Structure 1
Amino acid sequence: MTALIANGTILIVILATDIGRRRVTVTRIVRSVVVVAVVVAIFVDSVPTRGDNDLSLQLVGVGTGAICGLAAGALLPAHSYPASGRLYTVGGIGYALVWIVVSGGRVVFVYGAEHWFTADLTKFSIDYGISGQDTYANAFVFMSLAMLLTRTTVLLGKMRKRRPPTRRAPFPATSDARAG
């Protein structure tokens, strides 16, 4: 249930802030980082390491989230408008579908683990040294967070790439009073 609440929270934040034409601002970037910090503080009590592969499974969650975040970021085109110099992203149906499908997949897995393939998952956990449901919950929470942070990193990259070059004043000419 913990992973589902974290998953739903992140999905709502993403869809609310990225769908449609949205300005890229520092506040928008910071909001994502704050969401990650809050979700970790609320939903991650510990990082299970009792099982031989607990840490590995959680790292797989991070890696999968990063890959999904790159895919989502690729579907979030950025445009700068010369008149204002502002950067905007346009989150469309493809972008929304990536988030919905990935989030829905996590929900289906959790439901399946409780109703469809409980015995198989228990056997898998024993065979591969995974200590329990907290490890799976963390893997899904870390996947969500990595996806969000990777999307945020992609936005930062687009922001830096599209930012108009700043004009620097040339160094003032120096005169050497001793030279005659």
Structure 2
Amino acid sequence: MSTTEYCIQIALILLVLRQLRGGKLDLAGLVLPVVLVGVTAVLYLRPFPTAGGDLTLEIVLGGLGVLLGTLAGLATRVWRTREGVFAKAGLAAAVLWVGGIGARIAFVLCSEHTGFGDQVTRFSIDQHITGQQAWVCAFVLMALGEAVARLVTIRVRAVLARTESRPLAARAA
């Protein structure tokens, strides 16, 4: 992994760690994840291999990212007060988010610096995965799926919190 790739992974971890302390959901909190997702897509999804088993790999890992992101979004507490809608990630949300990122980093490190790389090569041949770029795209799609699904889940829950008919909370618990 390059320094840029490590920086992107660290930025993704910081996004959820920032949510651990909780805060108001506003436009600024929406812009940073969208910018990170957009920049990552532009940097790493060209070319986008679809031959052989590439597309299957990309769909499976992208879907896993969406699942992890949705679960992390559901494990985030969302509430409203007179001041607006707030969110605070819980331990489960952090574990899901950091676990997905950690799994990607561990895979790359193990495949580059241990005998695990030979197993990845054999798996790739057996599954007709055409090369390293397919793996890169699959892991980027996993990260993007995780980020977008978490963001969308929290924002949908925020809209629902705004329209709730229950009395406003005096303050967050």
Q: Indicate whether the TM-score tops 0.5.
A: yes
Query: Structure 1: where are the runs of 5+ without partners?
Result: 166-180
Q: How many Å apart are 1:162 and its aligned residue?
A: 1.1
**In structure 1, C-alpha distance between the alignment counterparts of 2:14 and 2:115, rounded to whole Å:** 27
Tell me if structure 1 keeps the 8 A contact 2:54–2:134: yes
Q: How many Å apart are 1:78 and its aligned residue?
A: 0.4
Q: Which has more radius of gyration?
A: 1
Residues 120-148 of structure 1: CA deviation (Å, up to 9, x unaligned) = 11111111110111111111111011101
**In structure 2, C-alpha distance between the alignment counterparts of 1:120 and 1:21, rounded to whole Å:** 42
Residues 36-87 of structure 1: CA deviation (Å, up to 9, x unaligned) = 111112233211123x111111111210000001110111010111x33x11
> Moved runs in structure 1, 4+ residues, more than 4 A?
2-5
Please state whether the residue corresponding to 2:22 is helix, strand or coil.
strand
TM-score normalised according to structure 1 size: 0.81
TM-score normalised according to structure 2 size: 0.84
- Give me the CA root mean square deviation: 1.8
Partner residue of 2:36?
Answer: 35
Q: Does 2:156 match 1:149?
A: no
Partner residue of 1:15?
Answer: 17
Partner residue of 2:169?
Answer: none
Q: Does 2:71 match 1:74?
A: no
Query: Structure 2: where are the runs of 5+ without partners?
Result: 165-173
Partner residue of 2:103?
Answer: 105
Partner residue of 1:121?
Answer: 120
